């Protein structure tokens, strides 16, 4: 079973996806981390971020793996070509580089193929921007998680402060969120938008636990109805 959780930056997708996967006993895939890993490698290798052909080669040839603690199906980190980039992909530099990298159709093609391969290996909660529209258009449950710009920026500042990585300047984070949403929504390849059959959940002013519970109830209902067929 695939539960797709899409939505703009800072809407709480990662926390919700991880907690819902844990409750449901599913695995969890953070596709944004994969685009960030490609962006990190492109920067590291000095690839021009407007060189679509070179970006595509980086995406096709890189080896992305997730780091798991023993027995924990939820990844605690990510490696690319053997480098642990768990923290390095969360910097302000990568926040900026990931927009042109993820807009390149050749990069999206390579990542989409890999995400489909991974998703076919078990029950997954998969979070991203185009999971319900492009990667798994037949996902069993599609959620589009959103919140106001201001709430998302506040959450991202708190998250960066907790992690000790990325900007904790509210105005800078808000501007980056607005810039990335604009880039993600207006790009030609797989733009950020809700699937026609997605349930739209606005998390503004809502307890995250309620959203997780809501998604788990929906997922169990879908599972039960599939089992009944
Ligand atoms: O979820 P995130 O903020 O870590 O994602 C980083 C960037 O990757 C985001 O700005 C857009 C891109 N992305 C994408 O284009 N498609 C996805 N499925 C996931 C992320």
Answer whether 194's CB lies under 8 Å from 200's CB. yes
Answer whether 106's CB lies under 8 Å from 50's CB. no
Beta strands in 88-181 (DSSP E): 124-128, 141-146
What pLDDT digit, counting tens, does each position of 3-25 carry? 999 999 889 999 999 999 999 99
| pLDDT higher than threshold 70 for residue 228 | no
The pLDDT mean for the chain works out to 95
Q: What band does 227 get if pLDDT is binned at 50, 70 and 90?
A: low
Average pLDDT rounded to a whole number, residues 133-141:
98
The reported pLDDT for the residue numbered 229 is: 47
Q: What band does 155 get if pLDDT is binned at 50, 70 and 90?
A: very high
Answer whether 183's CB lies under 8 Å from 99's CB. yes
Average pLDDT rounded to a whole number, residues 111-129:
97
By alpha-carbon position, which residue is closest to atom 16 of ligand 1? 129
What pLDDT digit, counting tens, does each position of 32-46 carry? 999 999 999 999 999
- DSSP letter at 63? -
By alpha-carbon position, which residue is closest to atom 5 of ligand 1? 32
Q: 4 Cβ partners below 8 Å, 6+ apart? A: 126, 127, 128, 131, 132, 135, 136, 139, 141, 142, 143, 195, 198
CATH 3.40.50.620 assigned to domain 2-228? The reply is: no
- Determine whether the shortest distance from the Cβ of 31 to ligand 1 is under 6 A: yes
The reported pLDDT for the residue numbered 145 is: 97
Cα of first residue to Cα of last residue in the chain, in angstroms, is 15
| pLDDT higher than threshold 80 for residue 2 | yes
- The full set of domain ranges for the chain reads 2-228
Helix (H) / strand (E) containing 103 = helix 92-103
């Amino acid at each position: 079973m695939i539960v797709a959780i899409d939505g703009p930056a800072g809407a709480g997708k990662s926390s919700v996806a991880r907690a819902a996967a844990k409750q449901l006993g599913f695995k969890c895939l953070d596709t944004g981390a994969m685009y960030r890993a490609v962006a990190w490698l492109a920067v590291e290798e000095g690839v021009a971020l407007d060189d679509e052909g070179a970006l595509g080669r980086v995406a096709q040839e890189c080896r992305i793996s997730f780091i798991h603690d023993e027995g924990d199906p939820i990844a605690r980190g990510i490696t690319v070509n053997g480098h642990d980039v768990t923290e390095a992909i969360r910097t302000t530099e990568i926040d900026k580089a990931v927009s042109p990298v993820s807009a390149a159709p050749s990069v999206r093609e390579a990542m989409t193929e890999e995400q489909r391969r991974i998703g076919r290996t078990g029950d997954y909660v998969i979070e991203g921007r185009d999971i319900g529209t492009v990667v798994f258009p037949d996902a069993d449950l599609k959620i589009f998680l959103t919140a106001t710009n201001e709430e998302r920026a506040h959450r991202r500042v708190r998250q960066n402060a907790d992690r000790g990585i990325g900007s904790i300047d509210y105005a800078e984070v808000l501007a980056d969120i607005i810039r990335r949403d604009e880039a993600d929504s207006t790009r030609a390849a797989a733009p950020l938008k809700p699937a026609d059959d997605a349930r739209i959940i606005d998390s503004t002013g809502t307890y995250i636990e309620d959203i997780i519970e809501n998604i788990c109830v929906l997922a169990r209902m879908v599972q039960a109805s599939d089992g009944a067929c």
